[in-house]
Structure 1
Amino acid sequence: MDTNENLLSRITINPNIMVGKPTIRGMRITVEQILRALSSGITEKELLEEYPELEKKDFQAVFAYATNLVEEEQIFPVHISA
């Protein structure tokens, strides 16, 4: 089983690729594209058929990356005086 660190190494950020959005292994496939497709009902199998350069581990990497973002998220209440 891959460690979280190994999975996250599959997610790359390069300002010269997709304007610096996180991509999968430096390809022009963004984490956002994969999450958007999956959330709209497209299956991993369908994505693997559409993008044969993707690997099953890439999906795990996308989920690990998203998990880290949510994990680090902090909410601070804002109190407005009338």
Structure 2
Amino acid sequence: MKNLERIVLDPAVMGGKPCIKGVRVTVGTIIGLLASGYSNEDILKMYPYLQIEDLKEALAYAAWRSEEIEVPLAIA
């Protein structure tokens, strides 16, 4: 994944969930709204401090994350 400019993961903010930088809106919130049928314009009206680039990067991050493979650690 390219360097994220708008998504941050900070344990002190929203329990470490990926969020839009500088605000407490999670990637999950944005993806959930899109999946529920809200348009980009609807979301930007609900969260006027967001920009379209925030929504695009949230979607790109979610797509990238969904392709990651988690492998359990072997216990010795």
Unaligned runs of 5+ in 1: 76-82
Which residue in 1 is equivalent to 2:9? Answer: 13
Unaligned runs of 5+ in 2: 72-76
Which residue in 2 is equivalent to 1:50? Answer: 46
User: SS of the residue aligned with 1:72?
Assistant: coil
Q: Structure 1 stretches (4+) deviating beyond 3 angstroms? A: none
* Larger Rg belongs to: 1
Q: C-alpha separation between the residues in 1 aligned to 2:20 and 2:40? A: 14
| Deviation string, structure 1 residues 32-80 (Cα, Å, up to 9, x no partner) | 00001110111110110111110010111011111211232369xxxxx
Q: What RMSD, in angstroms, separates the aligned Cα atoms of the two structures?
A: 1.8
Say how many residue pairs are matched: 71
Q: What is the TM-score when the length of structure 1 is the normalising length?
A: 0.75
Q: What is the TM-score when the length of structure 2 is the normalising length?
A: 0.80
What is the percentage of aligned positions where both structures have the same residue? 39
Give the structure with the higher percent helix: 1
